[in-house]
Chain A
């Protein structure tokens, strides 16, 4: 006959099982391989670049210019991915490039999400004139091509990491506005908002405490899907010489540096691009998974 203690133990087991199952359930379909690649290519090197990098990314060995990668007959373990035209270790530059990509994408994302969400909340909540003004600002933003905006900014403020971040942030806020506005519009007339108002909440409090938490999932999913866009835009600007200034080892800069050496040293231009490709691909696939878990209705949204 089962004792009370047995029953309790079984209950605990059941609970622990369900917790385990809950965790596994939440991770169902998680593309582990892409998360792994993301960690290896972007996050770990981005956070720990000085510890991991075997060489100085800026200081080259001029006697070892355009050294081939290790799998080449002339390659050596000294420079696993070879060196560029100034003898700088490509692997170290790639690792430091992850740090740039991580820093730029996170800051640009934070700024653009803040601008976009604020405008979206305001125009969705207040509607009317406020909405009209925000929509016209969106129109104006949509009318300036990103690269041309970057050109104007660089011609005025010079080339720096912060100008690049500003350009990217200014360029990418409008998607948040569109989605958050639509969500706010539908939340505005819900009962819980009316009840909050009746119980004496001020408008800012309702927006921050009641609307914002309800759009958080959309925000997280959209932000994740935008990281890839930010990285591609940043690398394109850097490639064109209007993004991250030299000699900072941004991936786009590295591809540009290797452009003229394709015939003698293809790895200088091709490998950094592979870094961009793997990072963005894994980010997008991870974002797709997150979207399906958190906010399936975003599936309709074009990317």
Chain B
């Protein structure tokens, strides 16, 4: 177990190094960073200072570590289009993104797990077919278009909800719905995991033994089936990161996703870079947490999952 976790941590570290080196070299490819760091009016003295601060006079490998050192201290460099540094901007925007993402997960995850269990128990029922059709339709619909349709219906035509922006609680409704929709994939996953469990020998035994059905479902089958959506968590988080860029842009929500698009339109390299690093780090951590949680939940898996 410990060995597994150590190896997994090591892999996570390699991924982190790989991602940061990749982002670092991609950004360096784009030209002399001094051009971006300085404005027209800056004199040679400032240039010298900036060059030293970012270690631009030293070899690339050293520059990478200087850069990472700065990044780890939350120093991502100045922003050209906003009145704050990239780190400051992220700090300001983070709570908004977390609010939206947190609400979406808090609503969709338990709900889709519950419905997944329900549709497995009531297999081939009306609800089951409904869920299946919705899954097929949902897979083919881009989130940005769902958002547009919802705005068109509920904000523009019916006028029940605001079209965009941050404000009262009603501003949250549409963005949270759109952000939560993709994780409905958990529902299908939970359903098939549940069906597998309900089909197994121990469930039959429990039935013969005369256990009440709710106990079989929730205490026996569910506990074993719940591992599957757990492994799916990292995929959901990846979707949330991408999804929040789309949702925040459409609903003019002042979070990090909207910041990413604003920064790219202003060619604000430091901000883009900082956000890419943030997003990637979150994903690496999530993969790590999922994999480790998975071993705890199912001790049969030690090494088999290392090389997926």
Contact = CB atoms under 8 A, between A and B. Distances in A.
Contact of B142 (A151, A235, A284, A285): A235
Contacts of B27: 152, 156
Contacts of B263: 151
Contacts of B139: 228, 280, 284, 303
Contacts of A232: 140, 142
A136 interface: yes
Contacts, number: 153
A277 B141 contact: yes
Interface string A185-217: 000000000000000000000000000000000
A224 interface: no
A70 interface: no
Interface stretch (B66-74, B84-92, B118-126, B240-248): B240-248
Interface stretch (A19-27, A76-84, A237-245): A237-245
A139 B306 CA distance: 11
B96 interface: no
A242 B264 contact: yes
Interface stretch (B99-107, B145-153, B167-175): B145-153
Contacts of A142: 15, 238, 283, 287
Interface in B2-28: 11-12, 14-16, 18-19, 22-23, 26-27
A259 B245 contact: no
Contacts of A149: 276
B75 interface: no
Give the size range of A's interface with the partner.
35 or more
Contacts of B264: 151, 154-155, 241-242
Contacts of B307: 131-132, 135
A104 interface: no
Nearest to A155: B272
Nearest to A228: B140
A281 interface: yes
A143 B15 contact: yes
Contacts of B272: 151-152, 155
B136 interface: yes
B30 interface: yes
Interface stretch (A1-9, A59-67, A109-117, A266-274): A266-274
Given A139-B11, A147-B242, A273 B269 contact: no
Interface string A232-260: 10011001111000000000100100110
A148 B14 contact: no
Give the size range of B's interface with the partner.
35 or more
Q: Is the interface of B mostly helix, strand, loop or mixed?
A: helix
B140 A155 contact: no
B205 to A, nearest CB: 26
Nearest to A276: B142
A252 B22 CA distance: 28
Interface in A141-190: 142-149, 151-156, 178
Contacts of A151: 260-261, 263-264, 272, 275-276
A145 B273 contact: no
Contacts of A259: 148, 250
Contacts of A277: 140-142, 145
Given A146-B242, A148-B276, A236 B18 contact: no
Contacts of A137: 18
Contact of B284 (A143, A154, A258): A143
B23 A143 contact: no
Contact of A276 (B23, B145, B265): B145
A270 B18 CA distance: 41
B151 to A, nearest CB: 6
Given A149-B276, A151-B264, A240-B261, 7 more contacts: A140-B15, A152-B27, A235-B142, A236-B143, A236-B242, A302-B189, A303-B139
Closest 7 CB pairs of A and B: A273-B145, A281-B140, A140-B18, A280-B140, A156-B30, A139-B15, A148-B276
Interface of B: 11-12, 14-16, 18-19, 22-23, 26-27, 29-30, 136-137, 139-145, 148-149, 151-152, 156, 189, 238, 241-242, 245-246, 249-250, 260-261, 263-265, 267, 269, 272-273, 275-276, 279-280, 283-284, 287, 307-308
7 contacts: A139-B15, A142-B283, A144-B22, A148-B245, A235-B142, A242-B264, A269-B152
